[in-house]
Amino acid sequence: MTSTSPYPHSQLTQGLAPVSPCSFVCPQAPLPSKIEKDNISCSISSTVLEYSVPSSQIALVLQGLRQPYTLTPAHAVPLVSRPDELMIKIQAIGLNPIDWKSVDYGFGIPCLPYIAGRDFAGVVVKAPQGSTYIEGDVVLCASTDYRDQRKAAFQEYAVAQEHTVCKLPSHVPVINGAALGVAYVAATLALGVCLGLRFPALTGNDLCDILRSLPPDSFPADVRSECLNSIDEHERPCTGDWVAIWGGSSTSALFLSQIASLAGLKVILVVDVARHGARLANSSCILIDCHDPARAVETIRGITQGSLRFGIDTVGKETAAQLAQCLEADSEKRSHLVGLAALPKAEVPNVVYHSVPMKIFHEVPEIGKSLMLWLGIALERSLLSLPVVSTIPGGLGGINAALDQMRQGQVSGRRLVVPV
């Protein structure tokens, strides 16, 4: 099963990692004098759209590993605590593989009880003075800061930092916006940071240039080398270079292939052609069937004639190892392999392995702003095809059943979105 999770499977363990008791408590907000049936009230004047936010909400809470999430009424609504934070009334939640894998395998859960969920879209109900956003804006959020439960998706209200949200154009429905965030961030960081791709010039920003303009201590120590030394300047992709993406049906692969093509690269997608070929047939990518890996490797090598230096895997350790066999380096330029799911242990000479530094999206505002600005313009101009979405009924109460579908491998080539 193809995974779109940006978190390495290599973090999974045979046993369950210890989880500490949760020390985070959402303080209570004053109860507004009037709360409508949808838990939010608004009054419209000639100049201001004002919202009242309740003190409690319904949330989906994980009480223990390998357990279903529990629907919890009267859960405290989180409060903003920084001048760059927004309060968002969630209208739709996008589900990711990590939402069930973290529960089953015991990773990415810093404490219990815990509120999960990384992708959502909704309406801004509180914004600081001078913010780029105003109350009433409809935005998507990629909530990669999983340690801060205020920012989690599985609740009615969430806090988000300004540089992690993107205003949705009027022609992009909320349910589609909820399916974009984390997959887009993973794709753009893989291309722009790990591989050093210069993005199509919508904003004039280059991620490598941004990173190198900042002090080294701007980045967490564990990703600093990836941010600053991921690729030499002369090795960065140029127009006409090949990139191969193994696991081409994932949402991350959808963005990887489109952005790479917009930047002038030639793209190969390794995918289950029988299942996904019709959907991908109109793309400019070359499709190679994944069922015979050895044949796929031989085909890629034949198409690229020894010139493939860039590979991105979205599936796992085995497929990443197969993709590494397709890469060729020369005496002046090394090859580069990015693993969105995992990387092989065996090293290949002159092939540099990369893991996506997801945390810089929320921890380095300059990066988050650049990515969300680019996405906003691309959506406004309809430059990106959006993933296929299937909506799940039942609101927060329907999430457990939807995650079971994902566990059983019933979801591929589409995103599950839960309207709230």
Model confidence at 28: pLDDT above 70:
no
pLDDT of residue 45: 39
How do 41-44 and 49-52 pair as beta strands? Answer: antiparallel
The H or E element containing residue 157 is strand 157-161
Q: What average pLDDT does range 318-333 have in this prediction?
A: 93
Locate all alpha helices (DSSP H) within 88-206, ordered by sequence. Answer: 98-105, 174-177, 181-189
Model confidence at 39: pLDDT above 90:
no
CA distance 398 to 282: 34
Q: What average pLDDT does range 143-154 have in this prediction?
A: 97
pLDDT of residue 2: 42
Q: Which two tokens stand for residue 101?
A: 């894998």
pLDDT of residue 331: 78
pLDDT of residue 50: 66
Count CB-CB contacts under 10 A for residue 414.
15
Locate all alpha helices (DSSP H) within 39-166, ordered by sequence. Answer: 98-105
Q: Which residues in 255-350 belong to E strands, given as ranges?
A: 266-271, 286-289, 310-313, 335-339
pLDDT of residue 225: 95
Provide the β-strand partners of residue 313.
Answer: 246, 339
Q: What average pLDDT does range 334-338 have in this prediction?
A: 97
With tokens 């409060």, the residue in question is 79
Model confidence at 7: pLDDT above 90:
no
The percent of residues in the chain predicted with pLDDT above 90, rounded, is 83
The H or E element containing residue 161 is strand 157-161
pLDDT digits (tens, 9 = 90+) for 244-254: 999 999 999 99
pLDDT digits (tens, 9 = 90+) for 403-416: 999 999 999 889 99
Model confidence at 106: pLDDT above 60:
yes
Question: Contact at 8 Å (CB) between 69 and 61?
Answer: yes
Count of all residues that appear for the chain in the document: 420
How do 335-339 and 351-355 pair as beta strands? Answer: parallel
How much is the CA Rg of the chain, to the nearest whole Å?
21
Model confidence at 269: pLDDT above 60:
yes
Confidence label for 49 from pLDDT (cuts 50, 70 and 90): low
Question: Contact at 8 Å (CB) between 261 and 284?
Answer: yes
pLDDT of residue 51: 81
Q: What average pLDDT does range 168-182 have in this prediction?
A: 97
pLDDT of residue 347: 87
Model confidence at 11: pLDDT above 70:
no
Q: Which two tokens stand for residue 229?
A: 């030394």
pLDDT of residue 121: 98
Q: What average pLDDT does range 46-51 have in this prediction?
A: 54
pLDDT of residue 233: 95
Burial degree of 10 (CB within 10 A; 0-12, 13-18, 19+): middle
Model confidence at 157: pLDDT above 60:
yes
CA distance 199 to 260: 8
Model confidence at 240: pLDDT above 80:
yes
Among candidate residues 236, 269, 261, the one with its CA nearest the CA of residue 352: 236
pLDDT of residue 38: 42
Is the C-alpha dihedral spanning 20, 396, 41, 74 positive or negative? negative
| CA distance readout (Å), 3 to 232, 276, 291, 369, 399 | 29, 15, 16, 26, 18
Model confidence at 40: pLDDT above 50:
no
CA distance 299 to 90: 45
pLDDT of residue 24: 39
